[in-house]
Amino acid sequence: MAEYRIEHDSMGEMNVPADALWGAQTQRSFQNFQIGTEKMPAEIIRAFGLLKKAAAKANFVCRPEKMTAEKCDCICRAADEVISGALMAQFPLAVWQTGSGTQSNMNANEVIANRGNARAGKPLLHPNDDVNMSQSSNDTFPTAMHIAAVLSVEDGLLPEIDAMIDTLKQLEKENEGIVKSGRTHLQDATPIAFSQEIKGWRGLLEAPRNMLLSALPYLRQLALGGTAVGTGLNCPQGFAEEAAKQLCALTGKDFCSEENKFHALTSKDALVFAHGALKALAANLWKFANDVRFLASGPRCGLGEIRIPANEPGSSIMPGKVNPTQCEAVTMVAAQVIGNDTTIGVCASQGNFELNVFMPVIANSFLQSARLLTDALRSFRVNCVCGIEADKEKMQENLHRSLMLVTALNPYIGYENAAKTAKKAFEENISLKDACVALGFLSAEKFDEVFHPEEMI
């Protein structure tokens, strides 16, 4: 039978598991919100560890009479355990809780206070009076959201984007000089170099990368110091700036205090803007993955212009079948990210009066998108893109069978005559040369003189 201890808060006493570091407010939320399986993201919990450590250090500077050196050190040591992930099991709350994230803020306050007191061997820290000093859930949760977003993008996603860009640059070099048929509207088009096609893929990564970089300055601005409604009640002068400075030192990132705290508490436009770049990346990855799986389709009845790694059996009934599974995973991730973008946009529109109360689901959606894109990029690169090989013979065959090579004849016989040539070649299943000569538009010798598909790129 479970053992409990008695904890209390402003509403009275609560039974809390004896081995839990959380307190009464966390327990109330745990019992009152048995909704779904989604827990507060680990990135948010780590961000709270960083935030509480920075706040303690800022309070030590701004109000040392209340935040003593002993208390500050005790909070910092406990916060370090939160940051490292060692206390992750002490954060059991659901995403589907109060829209301000108050209960997760109190979860952090209670865990850090109780862990600090255990270290000190005495009741040194109070969750509200000490760990939450100069703060409110209304400014800490949006601050944690921005910290987590910056770290997930800068330390997780951007390095994977860069790794994919480097891989594509190498593929471009390896495939220089190979000319193939281009395609538009899923129909044959004029020739393109395979390296040019790969360069297009590279642009699908580089453009949203730049969009993400343009969004980061807004995410670096922190709500901390606004307290309950943006006025900074119970927050000492200079605390917000000092806390941002401490966060910079702890993370190596350029965080700053947002000047307009009323905006910081009620608006989530920075996350909407940044997630727009994630959606752009997702849309581009969907296109990239589709190109790869169509070009690799076959092996005998599809385009078959590239070969991709065979990673696992593709069918439980068809022996020897291999599927483009990495491409499928990427496109499913892209669909999830695009759905998350709708969620974030709708939730961000609900900033009523002085506070947005859809923050946990915004945080969960944003961080899931960043996490999925990071992992999908790594998996797609390592298990598929690095192993792409051009089937030069198939590309050459398709190139010379393409009727759109007739475009090269436009300057010599005109658009309408070129169209007649292509139509005759298609209907009679003959070459463009035979069709052009039969129609009397060019001699065989002149056709050979002007018709060079490899030079059309």
Q: Positive or negative CA dihedral for 244, 127, 12, 27?
A: positive
The DSSP annotation for 250-288 comes to HHSS--EE-S-HHHHHH--HHHHHHHHHHHHHHHHHHHH
Start-to-end C-alpha separation, the chain: 76
Instruction: Please name the residues in contact with 258: beta carbons below 8 A apart, sequence gap of 6 or more.
Output: 221, 222, 223, 264
Q: Positive or negative CA dihedral for 42, 84, 258, 73?
A: positive
List, in sequence order, the alpha helices (H) in 14-130: 24-32, 42-62, 69-84, 102-120
Instruction: Please name the residues in contact with 408: beta carbons below 8 A apart, sequence gap of 6 or more.
Output: 190, 450, 451, 452, 453, 456
Contact 112, 51 (CB under 8 A): no
Rounded distance between C-alpha atoms, residue 87 and residue 118, angstroms: 14
Q: Which of 34, 24, 1 is nearest to 114 (CA)?
A: 24
**β-sheet bridge partners, residue 39:** 94
**β-sheet bridge partners, residue 17:** 4
> Is residue 105 helix, strand or coil?
helix
Q: Which of 330, 326, 342, 339 is nearest to 287 (CA)?
A: 330
For this structure, is 379 an active site residue?
no
Distances (CA, A) of 424 to 188, 314, 405: 16, 41, 14
Instruction: Please name the residues in contact with 237: beta carbons below 8 A apart, sequence gap of 6 or more.
Output: 62
Paired tokens of 388:
């792409």
> Is residue 13 helix, strand or coil?
strand
Q: What are phi and psi of 324, to 5 degrees?
A: -80, 65
Rounded distance between C-alpha atoms, residue 404 and residue 457, angstroms: 13
Rounded distance between C-alpha atoms, residue 110 and residue 102, angstroms: 12
Residue of 84, 214, 315, 349 marked catalytic: 315
DSSP conformational letter for 228:
T
For this structure, is 297 an active site residue?
no
Paired tokens of 138:
């209304």
Catalytic annotation, residues: 185, 315
